[in-house]
Structure 1
Amino acid sequence: MTDQNAAHELSITRLIEASPEIVYEVWTQRAGEWWAPRPYTTPVIDWDLRPGGRARTVMRSPDGTDMPHEGVFLEVVPHRKIVVTDAFKPGWIPQQAFMVAIFTFEPEGSGTRYTARVRHWSEEAVQQHEQMGFHEGWSIVAGQLAELAEGGPVASAA
């Protein structure tokens, strides 16, 4: 990774005591249960998990405010890696870009090293994402993902 990439990257990582296959399955099949930090919810997950496929989510705040996010998947390697960006809408239609997110599921011991790296186009975007609560929020959702993958209690749908 170049220094420029490192300067514009935020990341979190967590060891999850479940296989990469299970973590990936929960990530892709049950995103509505873990994608947003509680008490936020994710009532809309519209994903076509293939390069160029739609990556649309809508997070909802406790006061009912919807926060839509539209993008496309760039790379999908089952059980190992997912790359998604908001630089495009489906059909490769350019839009105002904020980030590229890279999610990896690496075997480690009896579990999975889950890493979410987010690359931004500018230092201003990195600072904005940090001020939005990147580290806290993305750490919370990694914990929610781990809880589901490890067989913990499942949150009720909101």
Structure 2
Amino acid sequence: MNPDLDLALQRVIRAPRDVVWQAWTEPARFAKWWVPAPTVCRVERLEARPGGAIVTSMSENGTEFVPQLDAIFLVVDQLERLVYTNAIDSAWRPASPEPFLMTAEITLSDHPDGTDYRVVVRHGDPATRARHEELGFADGWGTVAKQLAVLAESEAGR
């Protein structure tokens, strides 16, 4: 991780890795935690394979949805790592997403209490990293990580 270009988050989720993995790779589960509540997420496509799409929309009122993410997976290592970027959209076209380009790497590893969950979001330059931080990286990614933990822990019976 390059602290001048990257932002990171880490937490322990009290659930097995396979439960956390399913929350990341199964559309119905993903929709339950991906955007901060009370905003509603709709998963348009979630193809957890290299080159597969990850397309979501969101709604403040549950009826009118707007695009939220249109990206592709670069790496999918079963139960261990997911890497996606919004620099290329789901149609494999170069993208210029607002508010910035990024590549996110999610890693899962065993922890005595469940799953060590880590996220690194990479940016192309310090200004983009700073903009993401100013727009609320810690609150946004932190909130959805908490929502992911609640979902996975409830499914694991913890």
Fold shared, TM-score > 0.5 on shorter chain? yes
Q: Deviations over 1:12-55 (max 9, x none)?
A: 11101111111111222211000001111112341111111111
CA RMSD, 1 decimal: 1.8
Contact 1:18/1:110 (8 A) holds in 2: yes
Q: Deviations over 1:115-135 (max 9, x none)?
A: 111001111211221122110
Secondary structure of residue in 2 paired with 1:95: coil
Moved over 3 A (4+): 61-65
Matched, 1:126 2:125: no
Distance 2:116 2:79 in 1: 12
In the alignment of these two chains, the number of paired residues is 149
| More off after superposition, 54-63 vs 96-105 | 54-63
Deviation at 1:65, TM superposition (A): 6.3
2:96 maps to 96
Distance 1:122 1:14 in 2: 26
Q: TM-score, normalised by structure 1?
A: 0.86
Matched, 1:66 2:66: yes
Q: Structure 2 unaligned runs (5+)?
A: none
Distance 1:138 1:62 in 2: 21
Deviation at 1:7, TM superposition (A): 1.0
Aligned runs of 1:46-65 on 2, under 5 Å? 46-61=45-60
Q: In percent, how many aligned pairs have the same letter? A: 35
Q: Structure 1 unaligned runs (5+)?
A: 153-158
Instruction: Please tell me the residue identity of whatever aligns with 1:58.
Output: S
Secondary structure of residue in 2 paired with 1:88: coil
1:10 maps to 7
Q: TM-score, normalised by structure 2?
A: 0.86
2:42 maps to 43
| More off after superposition, 141-150 vs 60-69 | 60-69
Match of 2:16 among 16, 19, 31: 19
Q: Deviations over 1:52-92 (max 9, x none)?
A: 11111112235956243211100001111100001112353
